[in-house]
Structures are given as structure tokens and as C-alpha cells.
């Protein structure tokens, strides 16, 4: 079984990732490693932030005894993602600042309600046909090696196109889900529910590529 350290303490995100990956993966989180260093997400791209988190945490794990033991047993990886909402009318904002869109201090996340309120305020005069955007996700996968070394994580990306509605609706999901209506639907992600979202979301598409990578690796191993 492959063990993944999901580089987040966000319970909603962890639950979503575990549901999509399924039982073939054993998922740990940063709550299982309370001494893990905080990684500042200061890159200007999703790929940059995901890569930085994956590499720094994999190196930290490789230096600790528990990480070394897991690495020596094989199939131990750090999975770090960065994701957010890109709104065309705002030139791609909030983008990498999605989680802290409403905060004055850009190093700290803001509350979902505050982020949503700011987004609606900025789009108040934008007509429906111009409220297009997408959720985008980039996942970095770094293997934990016993000796710490320069790591080059594999990247997997996904996007989900849609539009921003004029008011929040639904009580499910998190983040901008109450405002985002995916193409082909009339309900927001918060209304559609986890089962629907987990089949078509930006994160689901990136994780599907990750699962395909592991499936191909298993196929190569069995053929040897």
C-alpha cells in the first residue's frame, strides 16, 4: 500500500482527497506530524507553491527517524497541492491568493465568508456572461528518500470551468464552492454535493492523473 502525507491540516481538503483516492492509499496529514515545519507559500504559481511544500516536507521527513523508517519500507510520498479560483473578469484573481483573498496580511488565510464577500463585491457590476472562471489545482508528489537529496516532484494538474453566480447557495463544500457553478450545471458545487463534485472537480482531475501514474508504475513492476 502506498502511504501519502497530505501536506495540509484542512480537514475538508483531506476528506475530499481521501474520498477520491480510495482505499489503495494510506493517507496521513500534518496532524500526524505536529512538529512539521510551516512552509510559507510565497510562489506566484500554483505549481511553485505545491512544489515548495512537497520538497521541504519530504526533506524534513527524510531527516527524522520516523520518516526514515517509512522511507526504508518503500512507497512513502508527500502529496502537496495548491489550488484556487481564477476569475477572468479579475484577470485571474484571486488565483494563488484564493485562501487569503480578503486578508490584509497575505501570509494568513481569511475566512471563507470574507473571501466570498470580497469576490461578490468586486464582481457586483459584472454581467453573468462575463463571470466566467475556473478552479485550478496542481499536485506535487515527492518521494521520501532515506538520504535527503535534491528532490524533483512529479506534477499533476486539473481545472474545472464554470461561472461565478450573484449570490451564495448551498451548504456543502468549502471555500468558493457556494459561488461556483460548473459548466453544464445550474447548481453550485455547494449544492451538488461531494459525490458529484469529486467526479469533476479540479482536484479530482489532478488526482485521477496521479492514480494513473501509480497504476502505470504497478503495471511496470508486475511485468519485470
Residues identified as active-site:
82
Q: Reduced to 3 states, what is the DSSP secondary structure of residue 110?
A: coil
Distance CA 189, CA 197 (A): 6
Catalogue the long-range contacts made by 161-164 (C-beta closer than 8 Å, 24 or more residues apart). 161/132, 161/133, 161/134, 162/132, 162/133, 162/134, 162/135, 163/128, 163/131, 163/132, 163/133, 164/87, 164/119, 164/123, 164/131, 164/132, 164/133
Q: How far apart are the first and last CA of the chain?
A: 19
Judge contact between 25 and 5, C-beta under 8 A: no
CA atoms within 13 A on the CB side of 146: 4
* Prior bond of 94 cis (ω within 30°): yes
Amino acid at each position: 500500500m502506498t502511504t501519502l502525507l497530505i501536506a495540509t491540516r484542512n480537514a475538508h481538503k483531506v476528506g475530499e482527497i481521501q474520498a477520491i483516492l480510495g482505499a489503495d492509499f494510506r493517507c496521513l496529514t500534518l496532524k500526524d506530524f505536529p512538529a512539521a515545519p510551516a512552509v510559507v507559500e510565497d510562489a506566484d504559481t500554483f505549481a511553485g507553491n505545491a512544489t515548495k511544500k512537497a520538497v521541504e516536507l519530504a526533506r524534513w521527513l527524510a531527516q527524522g527517524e520516523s520518516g526514515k523508517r517509512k522511507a526504508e519500507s518503500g512507497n512513502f510520498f508527500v502529496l502537496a497541492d495548491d489550488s484556487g479560483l481564477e476569475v477572468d473578469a479579475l484577470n485571474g484573481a484571486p488565483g494563488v491568493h484564493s485562501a487569503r483573498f480578503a486578508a490584509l496580511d497575505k501570509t494568513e488565510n481569511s475566512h471563507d465568508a470574507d473571501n466570498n464577500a470580497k469576490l461578490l463585491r468586486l464582481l457586483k457590476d459584472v454581467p453573468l456572461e462575463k463571470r466566467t472562471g475556473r478552479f485550478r489545482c496542481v499536485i506535487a508528489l515527492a518521494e521520501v528518500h532515506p538520504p535527503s537529496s535534491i528532490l524533483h516532484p512529479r506534477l499533476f494538474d486539473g481545472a474545472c470551468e464554470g461561472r461565478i453566480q450573484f449570490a451564495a447557495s448551498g451548504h456543502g463544500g468549502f471555500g468558493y464552492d457556494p459561488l461556483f457553478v460548473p459548466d453544464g450545471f445550474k447548481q453550485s458545487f455547494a449544492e451538488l454535493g461531494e459525490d458529484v463534485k469529486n467526479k469533476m472537480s479540479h482536484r479530482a482531475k489532478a488526482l485521477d492523473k496521479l492514480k494513473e501514474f501509480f497504476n502505470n508504475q504497478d503495471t511496470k513492476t508486475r511485468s519485470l
